[in-house]
Amino acid sequence: MTDRLKIALQKKGRLAEDSFALLKKCGLRFSIRGGGLLARVKNMPIDLLLVRDDDIPSFVANNAADIGIVGENVLVEEQLVSKNELDAAIAMRLGFSRCKLCLAAAETGKVQSASDLSGTRIATTYPGVTGRYLSENGIDAKLVEMKGAVELAPSIQIAESICDLVSSGATLEANGLTAFETILESEAVLIRSARELSANKSDILDKLMNRIDGVLKSAETKYIMLNAPKSAVKEITDLLPGSDSPTIIPLGGPEDLVAVQAVCTETVFWETLEGLKTLGARAILVLPIEKMMS
Ligand code: ATP
Ligand code: ZN
């Protein structure tokens, strides 16, 4: 029997859906149903271990899983809490689940900025990262460790400020809080331990990471097609974001038009399209690219 690569993933929550979607885009076929801890990938020797996100770094470190997908915030927190004894490190950044760990307080309270923190209480579920920030900045404040609902701490008067994850800021706003300092920026990351994998697992992991790389690159990459007056081709191709050598095809018809086709590796904004149009480009099409391998 071949060795199966075991990937620890969040079972349910803000990371889960995007993690499953990424693996599906990499061609893994599986279904997550019911309350099972393990899901088998049907077409590759991979098993998915479905757990709470907080357990992912230690599962990877302790060999319960070979790799994991987790928020960088959770990895850094677990590292700090274990005093850097956790054998798990970032192998690849994944670009989704972006959020920030921020200090926030009531608009009208006594803490308005980091310089007001000394002698106050900060509620957080991230004592490791918050504690590191405080000691690096020589701030003497008390940490109130909570398991959840941190945003309620100021209103029930157990802390003057909080340190919590923020993405849009809507939760803070709904609780009358304003962020005044970012102490960590986070995104989903693929983590692994320093342990050597069997040759079999190592091959599967290489293949998976190559596919992830392809998925991440193709997400931004677009195929642009347009018609342009011959005289404007140079200016138009200069405007195409991150394209090397566009294909230029002469078109029949009375006008002196060419078709330009190019792979653009950077985001194509509406402004770019408007710029192309101003230069005389017409019939502009921007197409998604499903898969890429170079
Ligand atoms: P679990 O039950 O697995 O412990 P959880 O409640 O700790 O779940 P979620 O709220 O699902 O965790 O968040 C998981 C991760 O998603 C966070 O650690 C963070 O990396 C990321 N994330 C992205 N946006 C946000 C956000 N707005 N708020 C909180 N986390 C976010
Ligand atoms: Zn969690």
Specify the residue with its C-alpha closest to ligand 1, atom 17. Answer: 71
User: If pLDDT is split at 50, 70 and 90, which confidence band does 266 have?
Assistant: confident
Q: Which ligand minimizes its atom distance to the CA of 77?
A: 1
52 CA → ligand 2 middle, Å? 6
- Whether 157 is in a domain gets the answer yes
| Among candidate residues 136, 162, 186, the one where a domain is terminated | 186
- Whether 294 is in a domain gets the answer no
**CATH number of residue 55's parent domain:** 3.40.190.10
| Among candidate residues 186, 207, 235, the one where a domain is terminated | 186
CA separation for the pair 45, 171 (Å, rounded): 41
209 and 243 assigned to the same domain: no
277 and 214 assigned to the same domain: no
CA separation for the pair 133, 34 (Å, rounded): 40
- Whether 26 is in a domain gets the answer yes
- Atom index in ligand 1 nearest the CA of residue 98 equals 23
User: If pLDDT is split at 50, 70 and 90, which confidence band does 1 have?
Assistant: low
* Distance between first and last Cα of the chain: 32
pLDDT in tens, 24-70: 999 999 999 878 899 999 999 999 999 999 999 999 999 999 999 99
193 and 83 assigned to the same domain: yes
- Atom index in ligand 1 nearest the CA of residue 15 equals 16
| Ligand 1 pocket test target in 9, 12, 15, 94 with most atoms within 8 Å of CB | 15
Per the model's pLDDT, the better-predicted residue between 5 and 245 turns out to be 5
232 CA → ligand 1 middle, Å? 49
Task: Return residues with CB closer than 5 A to ligand 2 (ion).
Answer: 53-54
92 and 194 assigned to the same domain: yes
Specify the residue with its C-alpha closest to ligand 1, atom 7. Answer: 53
157 and 30 assigned to the same domain: no
Mean pLDDT, rounded, for 76-95: 96
CA separation for the pair 17, 208 (Å, rounded): 18
- Whether 85 is in a domain gets the answer yes
User: If pLDDT is split at 50, 70 and 90, which confidence band does 279 have?
Assistant: very high
59 and 176 assigned to the same domain: no
199 and 61 assigned to the same domain: yes
What pLDDT is attached to residue 183? 98
- Whether 81 is in a domain gets the answer yes
**Domains in the chain: how many in total?**
3
137 and 282 assigned to the same domain: no
pTM above the 0.85 mark?
Answer: yes
Strand order in the sheet with 161-166: 142-145, 121-124, 161-166, 99-106, 177-186
150 and 45 assigned to the same domain: no
Listed range (33-37, 120-124, 162-166, 203-207) with the worst mean pLDDT: 33-37
CA separation for the pair 212, 217 (Å, rounded): 8
Nearest C-alpha neighbor of 102 from the set 150, 47, 37:
150
125 CA → ligand 2 middle, Å? 9
| Among candidate residues 164, 186, 208, the one where a domain is terminated | 186
Check pLDDT > 90 for residue 265.
Answer: no
47 and 79 assigned to the same domain: yes
Mean pLDDT, rounded, for 245-259: 89
CA separation for the pair 229, 286 (Å, rounded): 19
In 95-221, where do the E strands start and end? 99-106, 121-124, 142-145, 161-166, 177-186, 188-192
Q: How far is CA 95 from the centre of its chain?
A: 3
Per the model's pLDDT, the better-predicted residue between 130 and 254 turns out to be 130
Q: Which ligand minimizes its atom distance to the CA of 75?
A: 1
CA separation for the pair 91, 184 (Å, rounded): 19
**CATH number of residue 245's parent domain:** 3.30.70.120
229 and 272 assigned to the same domain: yes
User: If pLDDT is split at 50, 70 and 90, which confidence band does 84 have?
Assistant: confident
Task: List, in sequence order, the alpha helices (H) in 46-165.
Answer: 56-61, 72-81, 127-136
What pLDDT is attached to residue 215? 94
Query: What's the domain range around 227?
Result: 221-288
- Whether 181 is in a domain gets the answer yes
Check pLDDT > 70 for residue 197.
Answer: yes
| Ligand 1 pocket test target in 165, 167, 173, 186 with most atoms within 8 Å of CB | 165
- Residue labelled with tokens 């670009």: 95
- Whether 293 is in a domain gets the answer no
52 and 67 assigned to the same domain: yes
